[in-house]
Amino acid sequence: MSQEPIKLAKQSWYASMFHFIMEIIDLPLRTIQRHIGIHRMAYLFLLPNLLIFGLFSFWPMILNLYISFTSSESTDISQRPWVGLENYRYLLDCPSYWEAKSCNVAGYSFWTGLWNTLGFAMLQVPIMIVVALATAVVLNRKIRARGFWRSIYFYPVMLSPVVVGITWDWILKRRGILNELLKELAQFRNTVAEIPGIQWLVVGGLSLLLVWIALKFWKSSHTTIRMIGIGTCVALVGLVVMQDWASIIEAGRYRPVNWLFERRVGWPFFWVIFVYSWAHAGFYMLILLAGLQAIPRDVYEAAQMDGTPQWRVFFRITLPLLMPTMLVVLILSLIKAFQVFDEVYILTGGGPGQATKMVIQHIYEIAFTGETKRYGVAAASSILLAGIILVLTMIQLWVTKRNANG
C-alpha cells in the first residue's frame, strides 16, 4: 500500500492544527489592535524584551542609586536608613584629591584606584589602538593564510579574563616560564661569550645590517627621508663600533625577577597593561579591519596610478577615511579601560601595595571583602564611576553625530 495518502493526511492535519493555533493567537491581538491602533502594536511586541531588560538592567541601576543614599550592613532595603549625600561626602571629603593619602580610608582607596585607572587608561588605550591598527593594516593585505592569522589574533578575545590572568600568572611569576627562558638565554650568552673573536663578529654583522638598511634608504624617491635614514644608519654604525661588546656579551648568573611585584622599576603596571592589551586588542583589530575594508578600492588605485608612496597613501588616504572608526574604537576602549578589574585582580591583586589597584577593585573590596560591608559607600563609588563613563559615552555620541552630519 502506498504511503503517499498517509503523508498527505498527516500534512493536512498539521496544517489544520497550525491554522487553529494561529486563529487563537490572532483573536486577542486583533482585539488589542482595535483599541490601541496598528502603530502602537510594535511596542506590544517589544514589551517582553523591555521587561527583561528593565528587570536585569534598569532596576539594578535604580536600586544601586538608592543604596548610595543609605547606610547599613544589611542587604534588606527596608532596614537601610536614609543618610542623603553622606556617602558621597565621605568619598569626596579630602584636603587634596591629588594626594590620596590625605583622605580617609575609603577616600584613599577610591582616589588611589581612580588615579591608577586614569593612568592605566592614558597608557593602555593609545598602545592598544596602535597595535590593533598595525595588525588590521597587515591582515587587510593579501598575505598567505590570512584567515588563519585573523583568527589567531582574535582568539584571546574569546578567552575568559580569569583564564587570561591565570595563564599570564604562570608565565610571569618568579619560577614561571619567562624567568626560565631568560635563564636559558643567559646561559647561552655566557657560552657564546667564550667563542674567540665573537666581539668582532657582532660588530661586523650589525654594521653590515645597517649598511644594507642605508642602501634601502638611498633608493627612496623622497630626499628628506633619504637623508634622515642614511644619517641615522651612519650614527648607529658609529655607536656599534664604539661599544665595548665584550663586556656587553658577557653576563653573570641570571637572577629571577618577580615581574608582578617588582615595584621599583614599574614592572607590575607594565605587565598589567601588556596582558590587558594582549587580551582585548583583537576585538578592536576586527573593528578597524571592517573600517579598512569599507574604504573604496578606487582611491588606492588612483593613488597607485599617480605613483604615490605607500607611507603617503597611509597618512593621506587610509587614516583620514578611517578616522570615524578610530574615534569609535577610542571611546569604546576608554570606557572598557575604566572598567578593568578581572585580569588585574588575578595577576597582582592590586599590588604591590596599591600600585595596580583599580577603582572597580575598590568598589568590590569596600562592598564584599572587608569585615564591615559598606554597601552605601561602594554604591556611591560606582555612581561616580558611572558618571565618568557617561561623560565618555556622551562624547562618543556627539562625535558620531558630528561625523554623520559631515
In tens, the pLDDT along 5-60 reads 666 666 676 777 777 777 777 777 777 777 777 777 778 888 888 888 888 888 88
Q: Which residue has the higher pLDDT, 71 or 405?
A: 71
pLDDT band (50, 70, 90) for residue 246? low
Instruction: Compute the distance between CA of residue 199 and CA of residue 391 in angstroms, rounded to an integer.
Output: 58
269: helix, strand or coil: helix
**For residues 240-245, average pLDDT:** 67
User: 361: closest CA among 376, 380, 381?
Assistant: 381
Instruction: Compute the distance between CA of residue 325 and CA of residue 322 in angstroms, rounded to an integer.
Output: 6
Question: What is the predicted pLDDT for the residue at 130?
Answer: 92
Kind and range of the H or E element at 403?
A: helix 375-404
Q: Give me the long-range contacts of 49-54 (CB less than 8 A, separation at least 24).
A: none
DSSP state of 55: I
Instruction: Compute the distance between CA of residue 165 and CA of residue 2 in angstroms, rounded to an integer.
Output: 65
What letter represents residue 49's amino acid?
N
Read off the pLDDT of residues 278-295 as tens digits, 9 standing for 90 and up: 999 999 999 999 999 988
Architecture of domain 86-164+268-404: Orthogonal Bundle (1.10)
Instruction: Compute the distance between CA of residue 271 and CA of residue 153 in angstroms, rounded to an integer.
Output: 19
**For residues 130-138, average pLDDT:** 91
**For residues 120-137, average pLDDT:** 92
Question: What is the predicted pLDDT for the residue at 370?
Answer: 74
**Is the predicted pLDDT of residue 340 greater than 50, yes or no?**
yes
Residue 334, CA distances (Å) to 56, 280, 337, 399 in order: 24, 12, 5, 14
**Is the predicted pLDDT of residue 251 greater than 60, yes or no?**
no
Instruction: Compute the distance between CA of residue 274 and CA of residue 286 in angstroms, rounded to an integer.
Output: 19
Read off the pLDDT of residues 167-207 as tens digits, 9 standing for 90 and up: 999 999 888 888 888 888 877 777 766 666 666 677 778 88
Phi (first) and psi of residue 103, to 5 degrees = -90, 175
pLDDT band (50, 70, 90) for residue 405? low
219: helix, strand or coil: coil
**For residues 60-66, average pLDDT:** 90
Indicate the angle between helix axes 105-139 and 267-293, nearest 10 degrees. 40
Identify whether 352 is preceded by a cis peptide bond (ω within 30 of 0): yes
User: 337: closest CA among 401, 266, 273, 264?
Assistant: 273
Highest mean pLDDT: which range of 9-23, 61-75, 93-107, 199-213: 61-75
DSSP string, 135-180: HHHHHTS--TTHHHHHHHHHGGGGS-HHHHHHHHHHHHSTTSHHHH
Q: Which residue has the higher pLDDT, 134 or 265?
A: 134
HSE, CB side, 13 Å, CA atoms: give it for residue 57: 6
Helix and strand counts by DSSP (H, E) for the chain: 18, 0
DSSP string, 70-95: B--S-S-GGGS-B-TTHHHHHHH--S
**For residues 85-94, average pLDDT:** 86
Terminal CA-to-CA distance of the chain, rounded, Å? 73
Question: What is the predicted pLDDT for the residue at 335?
Answer: 87
Q: Which residue has the cell 574604537?
A: 329
What's the CA dihedral at 337, 343, 348, 352 to 10 degrees?
0
Residue 328, CA distances (Å) to 287, 392, 397 in order: 9, 11, 9
**For residues 305-329, average pLDDT:** 84
Instruction: Compute the distance between CA of residue 173 and CA of residue 259 in angstroms, rounded to an integer.
Output: 6
Instruction: Compute the distance between CA of residue 152 and CA of residue 282 in angstroms, rounded to an integer.
Output: 9
Question: Is residue 367 a contact partner of residue 375, using CB atoms and an 8 Å limit?
Answer: yes
**Is the predicted pLDDT of residue 1 greater than 70, yes or no?**
no
Mean pLDDT in the chain? 82
Q: Give me the long-range contacts of 400-406 (CB less than 8 A, separation at least 24).
A: 400/324, 400/327, 400/328, 403/324, 403/327
**For residues 133-157, average pLDDT:** 88
**Is the predicted pLDDT of residue 2 greater than 60, yes or no?**
no
Instruction: Compute the distance between CA of residue 256 and CA of residue 204 in angstroms, rounded to an integer.
Output: 32
Instruction: Compute the distance between CA of residue 138 and CA of residue 136 in angstroms, rounded to an integer.
Output: 5
Determine whether 280 is exposed, middle or buried from the number of CB atoms within 10 Å of its CB (0-12, 13-18, 19+).
Answer: buried
Instruction: Compute the distance between CA of residue 211 and CA of residue 305 in angstroms, rounded to an integer.
Output: 32
